[in-house]
Structures are given as structure tokens and as C-alpha cells.
Structure 1
């Protein structure tokens, strides 16, 4: 009985220690990202992901950082490298949970970054795929503000080429701002970005 009790205590202690290391690592990675050290932050999230297989969040941030960097004109020559890293992280987590809408949003963003790097080459093939991802995400989580915002932004980007009216899409951005006000992240490290971007996008709409 004593041995069993000791074993349980050791098991619980190891879990608490591992959780503490996870939180410390995530905090450090976010700190690097906030300082603008994007490569270092991505590498840190990648190391956390390899050590902590049960959380999708480290790989999510690997994907988000590298996808965001791929939109930066200064990284024009590195788009393929950045998106390869982003997509590898996304594939790992989507294979475990294909209905994770936060991952789906970043997947759509990564494809949009590739499209933006060469619209003439990728426009016809990627646009339908991106639309399909956002449609699926919308069905899964219609009240998720990042789903509503990013889907509307993609539609507005397409309207610049087609000349379509964006009034309804601007209304969706306005809706996303309302949803951000009500949205509660599941954990301290869960995605919560987007409100500033939505506010700026609405200004540009009007």
C-alpha cells in the first residue's frame, strides 16, 4: 500500500513538474516573439512541441509565426522555407484533430500567403481551397471571431481582383469585433489575437 501511495505521489509530482516546464517554456517563447525575435520564438515553440505531444498550441504558434513572416515583403525570397515549416507544424496537429478551427484558420492563411507571393501562378488553384477551408471552419465554429474576420479579409482581398461589392464583407468584420468582445480563450496560451487587426480592417472598409 505504501509503495502504491509513493508511486502515485511520484506520478503526480512528475505531471506538475512537466506542466510547470511547459508553462515556463511557452512564456519564454511568447517573450521572444514580443521582442520581435521571430526565428528564436519559432524555434522555442518547436522544441516545446517536440517535448509536449499532448498540446497542439506549440505547433500552432510555429505555424502562425512562420505564416505571418511569409506575408512580410522583406521575406519574399524565403516564402517557401517559411511556409514549409508552417505547414509541417499544421499537418502534425491537424492529423490529430482535423476539426480544430484555430489550426484551419492558420492553414488558410498559409495558403493565402503562398497565393499572395505569386497570384498569377497560384490564384486559380489555391483560391477554391482557401474558400473551402474557411467554409468548413465557419460551419464548425460560426462564432469564432478569427474565423469570421479572416474569412471576410480573404473575401475582400479577392474583391480587389473581381470588383465585387464588399459591403457585406465589411459587415462581417464588424461582426467579428462584436465576437471578440465575447470570446474567452480556453487557456492562458490559447489564441486571442485579431481584435486590433479587425478594428484596422473595418477602418479601411469604410
Structure 2
């Protein structure tokens, strides 16, 4: 029969192994899972998303920091400079040093190693955060955001988490999904109450 200390240590070891598996994600990195865990908050280490599925398109972040996309592209969501659909992966233009990707219904995001956010695709509700409602077939930088560690995309709205833990949102907001206490859409990032 194990003591309470033994049960606690066994449970802690299980959590530690689970954390290392999440941090490593089975992908080679420039640091071990343990180093990544010790050098960054857990939520920041977990933000290294390497795959994303949108409405009818998919994104893949390769170990070399490039992003590849496949699927529907009528609104430029593949980021290859065209609006032609692709059944084989194409490289997103102008991207390097990418650490995470996200995909919405018909728009896409990436976080670069310098903690800036870049977006492309459908922008009918300002979900790209570039201050316009013009669709983009190549990446444009989201305005006013720095220190970003994670992004998420909804159907027509987008969210980012900064290293200070604050959440920022932009795009369609008819139901208050931006979390800013109002129901007004915006084409640039605003502080969310999330």
C-alpha cells in the first residue's frame, strides 16, 4: 500500500510527463521540452500550434518556420497570392520564423517569432485586424499588436493573447463575441474583458 506521499509523487510524475508531451508535441525544436517548460509559462509553451483547420482549408506549420496551406481559396485564405483552390499544399507567401497558426472559417493567422501576428483571407467583417474590410490573398500584419503568444479564429472574429495575459479581439461582434461589453464590430484589435 502506497503512502500519501507516494501517491502524490506518482500523480506529479504523471502530470510532468503529460506536460513534456504537450510542450514537445513530438516535433524537433531548438530546445528540449523541459527547457521550454522552464523558460516560458506553460500556456505560452502550449501555444505552439502546428496544425489548424478552417471551414474548408487547412494550415500546417513546418519545423523550418514556413506555413503551408491546402483547400478552398476563394477569399485568399491559403495566402499564396491567388484565389485558386489547391488540393496539394502551397506555401504561404512571405512567411518565415512562424511559431503558431490558426484558421477561421475563411481566414488564417500566424504568430511570428518576433510575437507579431499576420493574417490573410476573408476580411468582410474586419477579422484580419488590418483596419480595413478588404480581403487579402497574402499575409498582412494585424495592427497594434505586439508580444502575442497565441491566436484563435472564429467564423468572422479573431482573438490574441499577449505575454502579459491580456486578451485582444477584433472582427464581427453582433453577439458580443469580442468580449468588450458592446456589440460593435471593429477592424482593429481592442482589449477584451476575457
The TM-score, its normalising length taken from structure 2, stands at 0.32
Q: Between Structure 1 and Structure 2, which shows a larger proportion of strand residues?
A: 2
Q: Between Structure 1 and Structure 2, which shows a larger proportion of helix residues?
A: 1
The TM-score, its normalising length taken from structure 1, stands at 0.30
Structure index of larger Rg: 1
